[in-house]
Amino acid sequence: MIFRTLVTVGLLALTGCSPLQDNVSRISTKSFGSLTDGRDVTQYTLRNEAGSSVGIIDLGGIIVSLNIPDKQGQLADIVLGLDSPQQYLTESPYLGAIVGRYANRIKEGKFSLGEQDYSLAINNGTNALHGGLVGFDKKMWHVVPHEGSDYAELKLSMVSEDGEEGYPGTLAVQVTYRFDDQNNLSVNYHATTDKQTVINLSQHSYFNLEGHASGSILDHHLTLEAGHYTPVDDSLIPTGEIAAVNNTPMDFRISKTIGRDIVVDHPQLIYGGGFDHNWVLDRHTEHGYELAATVFAPKSGRQMEVWTNQPGIQFYSGNFLDGSIVGKGGNVIGHRSGFCLETQHFPDSPNQPNFPSTLLNPGDVYDKTTIFKFSTH
């Protein structure tokens, strides 16, 4: 059973977390180092009254740290990450990053809009993944910090030029991170274009609610508010079918451990080497924020809820993490040591007419939000 007891500021004060003092800023900055081409990277740290904090850099809008208390009030960093900005450019499997223009895969990097055919940069076998060779995860973003009475936020902005990575239209993008005193981390995506294009933005943090160096996530309990998913072929491209999860390992409607069915002999798990699929959320409103997923870590008692107004969520169980990357503090990033819950439109939607549309036209606004809500029991 999943419980939703929020950690209180008073408990944290008694158990080692440090709430904000009067007249102390919620936002601090420091150097995160430099890239080999000389560009400096800055880390912004947002803190709240509960003593929690999130660290975000202007390279890729990457979440490099997220310190959240456990049921005893002890803080731990619960996202996988790296120690240097150059590692994020050359070694990272999108750890903590904003991904776009199109999160997830597009078959053979091709799609058409009207009479016009487009060919994208290929960077995942024969397919385009997460925006291409130089996606939003590798861009430097302009950052404007802001503090409210019970939150701190960063507004990140950039312009993706017409033709970049093969995508049409000049896209003006703003991503707002907000971290409040209730340990809610929200991510809002806002974009406009001067030419018809496709867009699908997401946040690619790898979570381990026991702590980033705690090993396997297979004992985490996961619930997905989804009765259907989009099956894939052996290159992880959706077949176009929207299939029921009933009587399959893909059924997370009732909480179960990530590891319970991950090695079941099922074609979808063979193709992905585990879970790496899009679930079709059971939405009850057209645009409202609804619960998409709940994850609970039994040792620490940390719980994360994911709320969104997106139609789908990609659950990835860290199958391709293989121990070849040395992460924060010299800790090796091992197999299935982190999981992703990427709210999104469906993969390959530009080529799947029965999927929700990812078209963005001039004069329209792309406006999507995801909220990660942290608590303990």
Tell me: the pLDDT tens digits for 2-58?
Answer: 433 333 333 343 345 666 766 689 999 999 999 999 999 999 999 999 999 999 999
Residue 3 belongs to a domain: no
CA–CA gap between residue 227 and residue 83 (Å, rounded): 39
Given the residues 204, 212, 221, 277, select the one marked as catalytic.
204
- Per-chain mean pLDDT for the chain: 94
Residue 335 lies in a domain: yes
d(CA 302, CA 376): 5
Q: Is residue 2 part of a domain?
A: no
In 3D space, the residue among 158, 138, 163 whose CA is nearest the CA of residue 37 turns out to be: 138
Within-domain flag for 237: yes
Rounded Cα gap, residues 234 and 270, in angstroms: 8
Which CATH number do you get for residue 275? 2.70.98.10
Tell me whether residue 365 is in a domain. yes
Model confidence, pTM:
0.94
Percent of the chain residues topping a pLDDT of 70: 94
Q: State phi, psi for 74 to the nearest 5 degrees.
A: -90, 130
**Average pLDDT, integer, range 150-176:** 98
Question: What are the structure tokens assigned to 285, written together?
Answer: 């409103």
Q: Kindly state the tokens that stand for 62.
A: 């990457």
Beta strands in 181-232 (DSSP E): 184-193, 197-198, 202-203, 221-224, 228-230
Distance, CA of 66 to CA of 241 (rounded, Å): 36
- Burial class (CB within 10 angstroms; exposed 0-12, middle 13-18, buried 19+) of 22: exposed
Residue with tokens 């936002």: 27
Strands 105-106 and 128-129: antiparallel
Of 212, 220, 342, 345, the active-site residue reads 342
**Residue 286, pLDDT score:** 81
Which residues partner with 228 through β-bridges? 244, 280
Residue 287 has pLDDT above 90, yes or no: no
d(CA 133, CA 131): 7
DSSP conformation class of 89? H
14: number of Cβ within 10 Å: 10
Q: Is residue 342 annotated as part of the catalytic site, yes or no? A: yes
Is 249 within a domain? yes
| Segment 112-121 mean pLDDT | 97
| Catalytic residue status for 165 | no
Check residue 17 and give its pLDDT: 62
> How much is the pLDDT for 90?
95
Residues 111-131: what's their mean pLDDT?
Answer: 97
Identify the CA nearest to 314 among candidates 188, 235, 229, 190.
Answer: 229
Residue whose structure tokens are 């996530």: 217
Asked whether residue 250 carries a pLDDT value surpassing 50, the answer given is: yes
Separation CA 11–CA 22 (nearest Å)? 19
In a domain, 4, yes or no: no
Domain residue limits at 108: 9-376
Domain count, the chain: 1
pLDDT number for residue 177: 98
Beta strand spans in 72-134 (E): 75-77, 98-99, 105-106, 110-113, 116-119, 128-129
